[in-house]
Amino acid sequence: MPSATLSSVPTLVVQRSLFESDPAPWELDAAERRRVASIVLVEGLDKPLDYLAPDRFADKGKPEIYLEPGRRVRVPLGRGNRSVTGYCVEVGIKEVGSRPLKEVLAVVDSERLVSAPMLRLTRWMADYYLCNWGQALEAVVPAGVRARAGTREVLLLHVPTAVAARISSIDVTDTQRRILETLAASPKPLAIKQLAGRAGCTVAPINVLRKQGLIAEHTERVDVGDALEHDVARELPKQLNPDQARAYAAIEAALDSGKQRTILLHGVTGSGKTEVYLQAVEKVVSFGRQAIVLVPEISLTPQTVRRFAARFDRIAVLHSHQSDVERRRHWRRIASGEVQVVVGARSAVFSPAKNLGLIVIDEEHEATFKQDTAPRYHARTVAQRRSEDEGVPLVLASATPSLDAWWETQTGQSELVEMPRRVANRPMPAVRTIDLREERDRRGPRGAISRVLYQGMREALSDGGQVILLLNRRGFSTHVQCPRCGFALKCPHCDVALTFHRADHVALCHWCDFRAEPPSACPDCQNPGILYVGVGTQKLEDEVRARFAEHKVLRMDADAMRKPGSHDTALEAFRRGEAQILLGTQMIAKGLDFPNVTLVGVVSADTAIHWPDFRASEKTFQLVTQVAGRTGRSDRGGRVLVQTFDPEHPAIAAATRHDFARFADGELPERKALLYPPFGSLVRIVARGDARDPIEAVLTATAERLRSQAGESDLRITGPGPAPLARLRGKFRFNLLVRSADRDRLHALIRDAMGRAKLPKAVEWIADVDPVDML
């Protein structure tokens, strides 16, 4: 009887009401009706705690200390009454028993930070993502807003009324009298420096007056003002082509319906998806409502922002490379209702738009929409929930939709709109694979660029075109290895090979940043011929520079793009034709629209294919299709050359035909057989610690508990076993994969099993719901 077992477990109640338990009879006797605030602590307990809300916090006339849901408070906790911060989630008159409640100490925020819809959303997130409500609340309000970045406390002075009435008769120096007269004449309180300036004196005599009590003072928080200007030329909406018009009509119908609907805009690369949703946003704005547009962090370059700024008067931008001050400024403008469109990365899904009309997620398949620290939310899932809660449409756009979003269109949960053609009837670029197995057998001098690719580059460049080369591996070599004894240089803290970076002359761990001096001979057998094997972007750059000496080359990867703004600088230089060859990691593969690129070369299509990740094929398909889509975007045409050891691989074969449906049709049955998403929900539990045995033991016990609780349900459990990245930053890692077609039940079972486990001190663990990172 699985359901009986389930409901008997108190922690499994998914929708908890805040005041769920009726008071016990003996408490009712002494019951009294009092104002009670429910407080969710930022750290620790998940359950809201009740505190008495003193009357001084109930006065709407004192907005700075008015206690309402969505503001933070300080409350005493535990025996020692340690003062801790929490979020007020409800205030109401409530029967309190004889058990004395503690009082709220202070109201931290002078305004509401979390709106009622956001309180509901965070409560849902805590249930769905198996995290604490406090963690979810903290994710919704940017740190800069919580810390009031960009504001400062200023000391303001005024003359008390009693003093002002008799300034001429007070016994002070002439300077002091002038100070008092100046201050009394000012309609607003003044800061010390302002007053000194106006009275033409130093601060010393002012301070004397303060001491004497002839000048009164108080502090206030003020904004450090700076204006955000997007000085760009206005752009008019484009005339939509028939495919675009159809797509727009579908979104318009959803907007007009006034109901929640999810639309997947699946359009091939270069089909003009952006124009469609820009016009939909224009419509929303024309009703006086707000839109949120989420884009992957990587494409949040000034270029994207300018595109929005050219179409809308008042936009706000939110992403992780902003300072706290900037983020807070944008956030407050959104909250004030002044902003029409919010453009932002993942966390912009929490924008405090009051009158939301539409949410758009561009490149919805991108992994950056998943947060990899608690709460481990996916912006698409959260956006779906928010759009349901607020009754607004959600538009997902991609040339390579996630199978998750795709499957929802196949099961009728969302609507599919296809844009199968490029704008201006441009053909899709022809893609040809280059079989590296044949190349390897035939090749003379070794290098990363095959003869065919080299020829292709030559032709494109001599015709005045530009070339994009993709290699999704940064660094110089991928490992440092001794050909004689097989020794490979590994990170002492992680289970991975070190990557040689020539510019800094270090062997670097890409996971923990461990750095070592690269050895000149094998540390094991002293062979001086140690090799730097495998090609990273740096080695590729060397090869390209050597073989195309007369052309300018730009490299874009995490190492080359460390400085803020370097991304945009590089792309603009390439756009202006200052370089002919752009090479880099996946950051050059997506969203770029350069008409002059007539050749895309994929140096290795296989970098992700053998990853221990059930999405390895999907990621490979997406990457190759997306980068292939960067060419043929003008009348100059374009083609794609893909180097691979496995040209028949279904992901690569489908990508060479720009054929998403074919890829999905091949991949979905495999997912179904193994109950992986989108057919099953997946939770990955990762445990880590200094020793293997206790980690494994905890996961084994958890797996057993899950099995016994699951009864006859379809729960499937893989593991526990070492995680693919079995050691990271010195810690051993094990994981357990649990999946089921019944999501709510899966989450409830895991919440329960983890809640009951006795975790040894030396073991830490997390539950990753709908994981994207499987390493």
Site for ligand ATP, rule CB under 6 A: 238-241, 244, 267, 269-275, 399, 423, 591, 593, 629
Confirm whether residue 525 is marked as ligand binding. yes
Confirm whether residue 131 is marked as ligand binding. no
In the complex, minimum distance from the CB of residue 664 to ligand ATP, in angstroms, rounded to a whole number: 17
Four-point Cα dihedral 659, 661, 665, 671, nearest 10: 100
Whether the CA torsion 573, 577, 578, 582 is positive or negative: it is positive
For residue 666, give the amino acid letter. Answer: G
Segment interacting with Zn ion, rule: CB under 5 A, options 92-100, 506-514, 652-660, 748-756: 506-514
Q: How distant, in Å, are the alpha carbons of 488, 492, 503, 541, 556 from that of 522?
A: 9, 16, 21, 26, 32
- Closest Cα to residue 237, out of 210, 277, 197, 199? 277
In the complex, minimum distance from the CB of residue 723 to Zn ion, in angstroms, rounded to a whole number: 14
- CB-based burial, 426-459: b 16+ in 10 Å, e otherwise: bebbebebbbbeebeeeeeeebbbbebbbebbee
CA 648/CA 644 separation, integer angstroms: 9
Backbone angles phi, psi at 73, to 5 degrees: -135, 165
In the complex, minimum distance from the CB of residue 259 to ligand ATP, in angstroms, rounded to a whole number: 26
Segment interacting with Zn ion, rule: CB under 5 A, options 321-329, 458-466, 501-509, 601-609: 501-509
Find which of Zn ion, ligand ATP, none residue 494 binds, CB within 5 to 8 Å per kind. Zn ion
Comparing CB distances to ligand ATP, the nearer of 266 and 370 is 266
Going by the DSSP 8-state scheme, the letter that residue 59 receives in this structure is -
If one asks whether residue 491 binds Zn ion (CB under 5 A), the answer comes out as yes
User: What would the DSSP string read from start to end of 131-160?
Assistant: --HHHHHHHHS-HHHHTTTTEEEEEEEE--
Strands 356-362 and 290-294: what pairing? Answer: parallel
Q: Which of 49, 512, 675, 726 binds Zn ion (CB under 5 A)?
A: 512
Find which of Zn ion, ligand ATP, none residue 499 binds, CB within 5 to 8 Å per kind. none
If one asks whether residue 732 binds Zn ion (CB under 5 A), the answer comes out as no
If one asks whether residue 163 binds Zn ion (CB under 5 A), the answer comes out as no
Confirm whether residue 512 is marked as ligand binding. yes
In the complex, minimum distance from the CB of residue 516 to Zn ion, in angstroms, rounded to a whole number: 10
In the complex, minimum distance from the CB of residue 368 to ligand ATP, in angstroms, rounded to a whole number: 15
Find which of ligand ATP, Zn ion, none residue 271 binds, CB within 5 to 8 Å per kind. ligand ATP
Q: Are 528 and 484 in contact (CB under 8 A)?
A: no
In the complex, minimum distance from the CB of residue 650 to ligand ATP, in angstroms, rounded to a whole number: 22
Comparing CB distances to ligand ATP, the nearer of 384 and 631 is 631
Backbone angles phi, psi at 401, to 5 degrees: -60, 150
- Closest Cα to residue 299, out of 364, 251, 231? 364
Comparing CB distances to Zn ion, the nearer of 452 and 512 is 512
Whether the CA torsion 408, 410, 416, 418 is positive or negative: it is positive
Find which of Zn ion, ligand ATP, none residue 275 binds, CB within 5 to 8 Å per kind. ligand ATP
Confirm whether residue 201 is marked as ligand binding. no
In the complex, minimum distance from the CB of residue 266 to ligand ATP, in angstroms, rounded to a whole number: 10
Q: HEC profile for 470-524?
A: ECCCCCCECEEECCCCCCECECCCCCCECEEECCCCEEECCCCCCEECCCCCCCC
* Phi-psi region at 142: left, alpha or beta (left = phi > 0; alpha = psi -120 to 50): beta
Of 300-339, which residues contact Zn ion (CB under 5 A)?
A: none
Tokens representing 156 are 């303001």
Find which of Zn ion, ligand ATP, none residue 512 binds, CB within 5 to 8 Å per kind. Zn ion
If one asks whether residue 494 binds Zn ion (CB under 5 A), the answer comes out as yes
In the complex, minimum distance from the CB of residue 269 to ligand ATP, in angstroms, rounded to a whole number: 3
Rg (CA), the chain: 31
Confirm whether residue 485 is marked as ligand binding. yes
Q: Build a one-symbol-per-residue string for 438-477: x at contacts with Zn ion by CB under 5 A, - elsewhere.
A: ----------------------------------------
Confirm whether residue 491 is marked as ligand binding. yes
Binding residues for Zn(2+): 482, 485, 491, 494, 509, 512, 522, 525
Residue ranges that bind Zn ion, judged by CB under 5 A: 491, 493-494, 509, 511-512, 514
